[in-house]
Amino acid sequence: MSKLVAPHGGKGLVCALLHGSELAAEKDKAAGLKKIQVSARAKGDLIMMGIGGFSPLSGFMTKADWKGVCEKMQMADGTFWPVPITLDISKADADGITVGQEIALERNGEILATMKVTEKFEMTEADKRFESEKVFKGKGADSADDKFWTVAMEDHPGVKMVMAQKEVNIAGPVRVMSQGEYPVEYKGVYLTPAEVRAMFEERGWANVAALQLRNPMHRSHEYLAKIAIEVCDGVLIHSLIGNLKPGDIPADVRVKAIDTLCEHHFVKDNVIQAGYPLDMRYAGPREGLLHATFRQNYGVNNMLIGRDHAGVGDFYGLFEAQEIFDTIPKTGDAGKDLQCRPMKIDWTFYCTKCDGMASLRTCPHDKASRVILSGTKLRKALSEGASIPDHFGREEVLVILRKYYEGLTEKVEVKMQGAASGSSM
């Protein structure tokens, strides 16, 4: 019997991905179905439902699920879920679909899945604002009532994505036929929950932590992972290989940088690098909860949560993503409640007087002695050709990143927020 934490939802890994003759038959059927074009975000969601990463979800959410998730982080049946997983389509497409109909979901000429539509519900501007405020509004300065909507429509990619959604959501179970480009382009890094669990089992791991990454690993990331290695059986370095906002570093570069760091600065038996196929939602604390939820499906029972986890701009408090774990709903049913717990780590940095990595809990020295580390700060320096402070990153990694930035013909301005600059320390 496995010692790993059970998948979320109490139903084991719920995988909608088809194989063999069943896949071939579904492809034949899909060719004759009405085709709906889906977003990059929906593609990632479909793949996660296919491989069991979004267990217990087997399809896109109903209106009752959407409303429950927005309001209280619970689906209609009481199962914990922190971020809506919905599929938006145009009113014109919705008018041509009846409840009970099967459709094909397509992206860039590839049919990804079929779906049986069980419900259609309108998403008005008021509904989109409701979702944005419930899911993306935090406790930071940019989330103040008199600022949020003005700033968010300019600078919050998650809010902009929600407000740009089409007029109707459709719900229903899916049958997934493709994992997209990930198995080929990220071979050996793109791993399913079942594959990751098997690797944990083979190593005898039961107490596992995950480090979420959307940036290359700097010294703080490395430090967080090594703290977890000291107290857990091992660490899953789990990076997003779906789409990010303009100005972020693409997945193939990040994967190469992480590989190099793991090769030179980690005991290989204690760490596994993997990638997952979602687009970043930039939902701050709610996304931290989503990270913990689907990591539970990968067999992870500890989620590393540091400063400004999954944040953007100054929309969130520095440690709001830690605090939210103390407020989530509980039913008392282990299957429905989140079992992956946070590992809350204070602000970390390199201290010249300590002569090593430290945190606010361990370092007694003043701010002038601290090298403040952040992915945003690193990206800004690299994009502007500025020098990188000593002890910010490992030289092997910086070589890879400098080469990437030197090859760019167009550069996106990287905006600094208080959390990244260290001004709010």
Give catalytic residue positions.
214-215
Q: Contacts for 385-394 with beta carbons within 8 Å, 24 or more apart?
A: 391/219, 391/350, 391/352, 392/218, 392/219, 392/350, 393/216, 393/217, 393/218, 393/219, 394/219, 394/222, 394/260, 394/261, 394/264, 394/265
Strands 341-344 and 302-305: parallel
Q: At 241, phi and psi to the nearest 5? A: -115, 15
User: Integer distance in angstroms from the first to the last C-alpha of the chain?
Assistant: 46
Residue 398 is encoded by which pair of tokens?
């910086």
Residue found under tokens 């020098």? 387
Residue 89 and residue 105: Cα distance in Å, rounded? 11
Token pair belonging to 182: 């990930």
Number of alpha carbons in the 13 Å side-chain half-sphere of residue 204: 1
**Are β-strands 302-305 and 208-213 bridged in parallel, bridged antiparallel, or unpaired?**
parallel
Q: How far apart are CA 257 and CA 401, in angstroms?
A: 8
C-beta of residue 311 within 8 angstroms of C-beta of residue 321: yes
The residue behind tokens 């909860």 is: 289
CB-count burial class (<10 Å; 0-12, 13-18, 19+) for 250: exposed
- What distance lies between CA 330 and its chain's CA centroid? 22
